[in-house]
Amino acid sequence: MAKILIKGGRVISPAQQLDDTCDVLIEKGKIAAIGKDLDAQGAEIIDADGKIVTPGLVDIHVHLRDPGLEYKEDIASGTLSAVTGGFTSIACMPNTNPVNDNLSVTNYILNKVKEEGHCRVFPIASISKGLQGESMTEMGELKGLGVYGVSDDGKPVSNAQLMRRAMEYAKPFGITIVTHAEDLELVGSGVMNEGPVSTELGLKGIPCVAEDAATAREIMLAEFTGAHLHVAHVSTKGSIDLVRQAKKRGVNVTCEATPHHFTLTDEAVRGYNTNAKMNPPLRSAEDREAVRKGIADGTVDAIATDHAPHHIDEKNVEFNIAMNGIVGLETALPLSLQLVEDGLIDLPKAVALLTCGPAAALGIPAGQLEEGGVADVTVIDPELEWTVDAQKLVSKSKNTPFDGWKMNGAALCTIVGGKIAYRR
């Protein structure tokens, strides 16, 4: 394996409290050295002058759609989309067909990643068998394969008793419970955030209390059981407040926010734009502000995309019947850097939210940059201007609300295990 020297970049690794202009030498898939004026003999040189060098980015909320829904995305296309966006480690959700609720589906994913993946993939298994919300999966066995978290994402566990037992069972195995917090009765047949915009458009609303009430229940159960709870895609002021208070009480809880929830509001739905339809829905300006405040004050541990590819035929329909979700892997980095530009957080904080923050939230070995560690590295040009063209996304699906947006910042080079997986 070739030697690579990343020269003269601003190296930021919050986990190592590193923020310095220096070189990074990669050899045999590992970080051989981090320091000034390293010897470049025989190495391929990546000039990182004026650029940022970080641990490979980590996204703990991705729908790879493989197995079963490969017409939307598959492991090859999804992981290529990931490295294009600067990600070297992603966690994929279990709502595939069949559901990832057992050893053989997890093995299928891991084997396919070995054959055709472009980055590391950490499968998240389901909490309940078949996502049916009735009985729990064989989490102990799954942990042995490298499953660090379980989630019934997209189909929340309604049964509080099952959630309690899943937390109690997962805890000694060190498995994180990732919750999609929504009270389905309160969601009803809603298709967008409930508020003045839904009233005006005549679309059924999903009230924020549907998320708040469910988040409250999950936090109470986590507090009661002591299990590690990770709250996925927090979108409301109420949920942010609940997580903040819980952390103060010492509850073992983490949470993530998506770029679309900290960037857009439900105003984006106007014109019945199905690429602004997702679950949880885009919320009010007040909720977006609360999410941003949660990012700034440390309530939010991670930025995660909820990358949810859908075929054009599933979006090019009336709003009511369009599928929920948008792709996000290729736009997450510049949207996160925008938070720095907006003065909300500093650059090392943004890097933390995209590396060690999500890694710690799910408990996966990633998001580090240290001598002797695996060489997962992303070289970022924070200034690079580019315009999103949905049709040119690497993902199989093109369902983005950011089509035509001018972005600042992109991954120039994504290195996975010492190999260049992507170069712009």
Partner 1 sequence: MSFKHKHILGIEQMSKEDIEIILDTADAFKEINTRDIKKVPTLRGKTIINAFFEASTRTRLSFEIAGKRLSADTVNISGSTSSVVKGETLEDTARNIEAMAPDIIVIRHGHSGAPHYLAERVGCSIVNAGDGAHEHPSQALLDVMTMREHKGRIEGLEVAIIGDITHSRVVRSNIYCLSKMGAKVRLCGPGTMLPPGIEKLGNVKVYTDMQDAIKDVDVIMMLRIQMERQSNIMLPSLREYARFYGLNPTNVKLAKSDAIVMHPGPMNRGVEISSVVADGVQNVILDQVENGVAVRMALLYLVSGVESMQTS
Q: Which of 156, 131, 160 is nearest to 221 (CA)?
A: 160
* Among residues 53, 197, 308, 369, the one that binds partner 1 under rule CB under 8 A: 197
49 binds partner 1 (CB under 8 A): no
Q: Which of 82, 109, 77, 71 is nearest to 93 (CA)?
A: 109
286 binds partner 1 (CB under 8 A): no
Cβ 200 to partner 1, closest distance in Å? 6
Cβ 406 to partner 1, closest distance in Å? 24
Cβ 198 to partner 1, closest distance in Å? 7
201 binds partner 1 (CB under 8 A): yes
- Which residues are catalytic, by number? 306
* Among residues 97, 111, 135, 199, the one that binds partner 1 under rule CB under 8 A: 199
318 binds partner 1 (CB under 8 A): yes
200 binds partner 1 (CB under 8 A): yes
Cβ 172 to partner 1, closest distance in Å? 42
Pick the piece of the chain touching partner 1 (CB under 8 A) from 54-62, 196-204, 240-248, 251-259: 196-204
Q: Which is nearer to partner 1, 19 or 289 (CB)?
A: 289
3-state SS of the chain? CCEEEEEEEEEEEHHHCEEEEEEEEEECCEEEEEECCCCCCCEEEEECCCCEEEECEEEEEECCCCCCCCCCCCHHHHHHHHHHCCEEEEEECCCCCCCCCCHHHHHHHHHHHHHHCCCEEEECECCEHHHCCCCECCHHHHHHHCCCEEECCCCCCCCHHHHHHHHHHHHHHCCEEEECCCCHHHHCCCCEECCHHHHHHCCCEECHHHHHHHHHHHHHHHHHHCCCEEECCCCCHHHHHHHHHHHHHCCCEEEEECHHHHHCCHHHHCCCCHHHCCCCCCCCHHHHHHHHHHHHHCCCCEECCCECCCCHHHHCCCHHHCCCCECCCCCHHHHHHHHHHCCCCCHHHHHHHHCHHHHHHHCCCCCCCCCCCECCEEEEEEEEEEECCHHHCCCCCCCCCCCCCEEEEEEEEEEECCEEEEEC
| Cis amide leading into 123 (omega within 30) | no
401 binds partner 1 (CB under 8 A): no
317 binds partner 1 (CB under 8 A): yes
Cβ 212 to partner 1, closest distance in Å? 16
206 binds partner 1 (CB under 8 A): no
Binding-site residue total for partner 1 (CB under 8 A)? 21
Crossing angle of helices 208-225 and 237-249, in 10° steps, is 10
Q: Which is nearer to partner 1, 203 or 243 (CB)?
A: 203
413 binds partner 1 (CB under 8 A): no
Beta-carbon-side half-sphere exposure of residue 32 (alpha carbons within 13 Å): 17
Pick the piece of the chain touching partner 1 (CB under 8 A) from 112-120, 189-197, 287-295, 415-423: 189-197
115 binds partner 1 (CB under 8 A): no
| Cis amide leading into 67 (omega within 30) | yes
195 binds partner 1 (CB under 8 A): yes
Cβ 203 to partner 1, closest distance in Å? 5
* Among residues 198, 275, 368, 400, the one that binds partner 1 under rule CB under 8 A: 198
Pick the piece of the chain touching partner 1 (CB under 8 A) from 26-34, 59-67, 146-154, 317-325: 317-325
* Among residues 194, 211, 218, 256, the one that binds partner 1 under rule CB under 8 A: 194
205 binds partner 1 (CB under 8 A): yes
203 binds partner 1 (CB under 8 A): yes
Burial 336-375 (b: 16+ CB within 10 A, else e): bbbbbeeeebebbbbbbbbbbbbbbbbbbebbbbeeebbb
Pick the piece of the chain touching partner 1 (CB under 8 A) from 286-294, 309-317, 342-350, 363-371: 309-317
42 binds partner 1 (CB under 8 A): no
387 binds partner 1 (CB under 8 A): no
* Among residues 37, 115, 161, 321, the one that binds partner 1 under rule CB under 8 A: 321
Q: Which is nearer to partner 1, 266 or 301 (CB)?
A: 266
Site for partner 1 in 143-172 (CB under 8 A): none
Cβ 11 to partner 1, closest distance in Å? 49
- Residues in the site for partner 1, rule: CB under 8 A? 194-205, 271-272, 313, 316-321
